[in-house]
Amino acid sequence: MPTIVHFDIPADDLERAKSFYSKLFGWKFEKPIETMEYYLIDTEDLEGKKGPGGGLGKRGTAEQKITNFIGVPSVDEYLAKIEKLGGKVLMAKTAVPGMGYLAICMDTENNPFGLWEENEEAR
């Protein structure tokens, strides 16, 4: 069953946001690509087990909010389902090279969410 596998947090000040979340929740941040203003977030549940991963990056627009990404076997398949059920595609399927594919959608209640398909061959 698809579930939340990743969340993205937009920030105006990355250092301030990292400080806030690391002090509040103990989250750990890693910058995988030095030339990119984006940090991966490691989380744990209350028992110390690995939790959903996240990301922290520069805010693109004033309206950009925290977005949850749902892991699916096929972004293409779920984009078709979303439109059939009355949702909207806000950002088409996009490759994250070597990692997978993502898309951003809107549900019938105007809530944004993302889809994520793991695929190391994504280009």
pTM value? Answer: 0.90
Residues contacting residue 88 through CB under 8 Å, at least 6 positions apart: 82, 105, 106
pLDDT at 33: 85
Q: Do 33 and 53 have their domain in common?
A: yes
Amino acid letter, residue 43: T
pLDDT digits (tens, 9 = 90+) for 65-93: 999 999 999 999 999 999 999 999 999 99
Domain of 116 in residue numbering reads as: 72-123
pLDDT of 98 above 90: yes
Pick the last residue of a domain from 18, 46, 64. Answer: 64
Bridge partners of 88? Answer: 106
Q: Do 88 and 118 fall into the same domain?
A: yes
The total number of structural domains that make up the chain: 2
2 is a domain residue:
no
- Which residues 6+ apart lie within 8 Å of 79 measured at CB? 89, 92, 93, 103, 105, 115
Q: What angle do CA 21, 26, 30 make, to 5 degrees?
A: 75
Residue 97 DSSP class: T
* Interval 18-67: pLDDT, tens: 999 999 999 999 998 888 899 999 999 999 999 999 999 999 999 999 99
User: Is 1 contained in some domain?
Assistant: no
List the CATH number of the domain containing 83.
3.10.180.10
Contact 26, 19 (CB under 8 A): no
Give tens-digit pLDDT for 6-26.
999 999 999 999 999 999 999
Same domain, 79 and 37: no
Same domain? 93 vs 50 = no
